[in-house]
Structure 1
Amino acid sequence: MSDQNNVLVTGGCGFLGRHVVSRLAAQGCHVTILDDLSAGTPLDTADASIKFVNGDIADPGTILAVLGERPFDHVIHLAAIHFIPRCEADPGAAFMANVVGTRNLVEALVPSSSLKSLVFASSVAVYAPSVEVLSEDADTVPMDIYGWSKLVCEDLVRSASVRGGWRAVCCRLSNLIGPGETNPHLFPEIGRQIARGEALIEVGNTTPRRNYLHVMDAADLFVRCLGLSGSDVHTINFGSGEEYSVADILSLFQKAAQRPIKFVETAARKRKVDRPRLQPNTTVMRGLIGEPQRSAEDAIKAVLMEFALETQTKWSITG
């Protein structure tokens, strides 16, 4: 990638955004981060090629001010409320951040003469629950507010892309895993409790099966999307290709921790609506932008080490 590429990353201080920004900077890009720090912290960097703007994409004035500072070649749009319990608890906030924010951004980009592509973080949550293995042309009937917001955003991105003449890539993400998570999902919550030495850990439903993607692999794949050619609209499932039940993941955590841990299902931790399975077909991803390189086991070791350091726990991770 040319060192003349100017890239805007919304949500660049979040779980995925931090890794995306570091990769872009390493490739010589000039990166502008737009983030309201509602789920993240500023990057600790003295790199002059990275600029941070504290702002909310739901505010049209903020978007216009950022876009007015320099012409952008690419935009990677990650900013969203994606923790499903938070979306369900405050659907208005989820709508503002996810839908209104995306509309503000893409409409402001339509007249851009410099923009080559926008890469958007969507989700496999857009698919209908009746579909077993999810290809990109499968039925889209989300089960929750988060999934619906992402499906609406995909339409907003595609429409603006056609009118603006720039490429759009809608990346339907599987569950991201790895160190640095900014929301209390399964992996960080289990890792934190193990690092504290807890022997009994409450969990929700252990039967749902999911596809997990290491956050560092996701960052690599997002950056590679900028290298796609043409002005087409792409929709691509992002995943590892491996499927695990929650019970499988808990077993891997226990194996890595090297000590007995009892996991107990409790009603309070179970979601009211939970898909039994979310397994994306990743053939398009592998053909266009490449293969993931890291496993769920890699992510578990990294998460445990992260919280071991945080709590100053002195123990080793099995290999």
Structure 2
Amino acid sequence: MKNKRVLITGGMGFIGPSVINRLKKNNEIVVIDRLDYGIPDKLKNSLNIEFEFIKEDLSDINNIHNRIKSGEFDVIIHMASISLIPVCENKPDYAFKSNTISPLNILKSNIEKAVFLNFSTSAVYSPANKNHNEEDYFEPIDVYGWTKKHTEDLAKFYSKKLNFPVINIRLANAIGHGETNLKLFGEILSQIERGNSEIKLGNLSPRRDYVHTEDIAWAVENLIDSNTVKNGHFESFNIGTGYDPVSVKDVFELINKVHNGKLSLIEDDKRKRSPDQERELLAIDIDKLLKVLPNYKPKKIDELISDIVLDPGLRIGNSFVEDIYYKDQK
């Protein structure tokens, strides 16, 4: 992708730095973020030098919406959201404001002919004992999934109403440098950073597909470049690895191997999700993506684990998250 004017929302989060670093060499980038987790180390030296940065909350109407209306941007990549499930469950009003109202404010800003790429999640799918494809039934089991499902519906509606293309990506579980949330990798690595050798986790059997942020960024750029989705159309693509899903216990064992077997695992009942909010399997089929991007070759988790564990770059510690979740898990 070259010579595009690109707006990236939530670019200072977990996945954003990988997308920014991939696109900034050949495009003009504007990043908007409210800085819940500060500025990533990867971007500190290029802030307002290699790309423009704006600190704003998208749930409030502000100047960026006027810039969108003016037709300034060729591409809008929307990834700003609250994704930690305990936060969404405890503060659903906050979750809907961040995850649904914020993109609504962009979508109704008369995007014109810009490509809108929406970061969604595989959590919109109804639980099933199989890999989900893009046509599967939707019935999320948590607030986070519903906020994303509603955003998809709004994006589909406005794409047709205002005649712009929407690329909707449903992600598997992202992993990489700079985790910002206490999801599985962030939870294990933060306990290790606090000096714990006994790692406390909840349910150990659930299996997930883990895709690296760099592979996500590659897919994002190439999906936009493919010009697959036309004006007035909404098209979803699963982005995962296509490899066998990995259990919580298996992830721990991979991390423990990097630590030469010095860690022990405790299954902590206090950390377990309620049965109505737990999925034994959440994995996705990527055949549709591969038809458009046959050169997509994501790395396997065992190829990535050492680099992530030895240089995690964790940015966990947001006060809002701590108040709701983190302090009770120490």
TM-score, normalised with respect to structure 1: 0.90
Q: Which residue of 2 aligns with 1:22?
A: 21
Q: Which residue of 2 aligns with 1:316?
A: none
Displacement of 1:40 after TM fit?
A: 4.1
Structure 1 pair 309/53, CA: closer, same or farther in 2 (3 Å)? Answer: closer
**Is 1:6 aligned with 2:26?**
no
Displacement of 1:131 after TM fit?
A: 5.2
Pick one of 290, 295, 300 that aligns with 2:300: 295
Count of aligned positions = 305
Displacement of 1:222 after TM fit?
A: 1.2
Alpha-carbon distance in 2 for matches of 1:309, 1:75: 27
Pick one of 274, 278, 282 that aligns with 1:274: 278
Question: Which one-letter code corresponds to 2:59 in the other structure?
Answer: A
Unaligned runs of 5+ in 2: 316-330
Structure 1 pair 109/23, CA: closer, same or farther in 2 (3 Å)? Answer: farther
Pick one of 161, 165, 168 that aligns with 1:167: 165
Query: CA offsets per residue over residues 250-274 of structure 1, 9 Å max, x none?
Result: 1111112113311001011111221
Alpha-carbon distance in 2 for matches of 1:52, 1:259: 43
Alpha-carbon distance in 1 for matches of 2:122, 2:290: 16
SS at structure 1 position matched to 2:157 = helix
Q: Percent identity?
A: 31
Tell me if structure 2 keeps the 8 A contact 1:56–1:62: no
Question: Which one-letter code corresponds to 2:8 in the other structure?
Answer: V
Alpha-carbon distance in 1 for matches of 2:104, 2:11: 18
1:87-106 paired onto structure 2 within 5 Å = 87-106=88-107
**TM-align CA RMSD:** 2.0
Displacement of 1:122 after TM fit?
A: 0.5
Q: Which residue of 2 aligns with 1:227?
A: 225
1:129-144 paired onto structure 2 within 5 Å = 129-130=127-128, 132-144=130-142
Question: Which one-letter code corresponds to 1:296 in the other structure?
Answer: I
1:136-215 paired onto structure 2 within 5 Å = 136-195=134-193, 197-215=195-213
Q: Which residue of 2 aligns with 1:264?
A: 266
Alpha-carbon distance in 2 for matches of 1:84, 1:34: 23
Displacement of 1:196 after TM fit?
A: 5.1
Displacement of 1:109 after TM fit?
A: 3.4
Alpha-carbon distance in 1 for matches of 2:266, 2:33: 37
Question: Which one-letter code corresponds to 1:143 in the other structure?
Answer: I
TM-score, normalised with respect to structure 2: 0.87
Greater relative contact order (Cα < 8 A, sep 6+): 2
Alpha-carbon distance in 2 for matches of 1:108, 1:69: 9
Alpha-carbon distance in 2 for matches of 1:131, 1:255: 29
Displacement of 1:68 after TM fit?
A: 5.7
Query: CA offsets per residue over residues 198-238 of structure 1, 9 Å max, x none?
Result: 32111110000111111111111112121132333211111
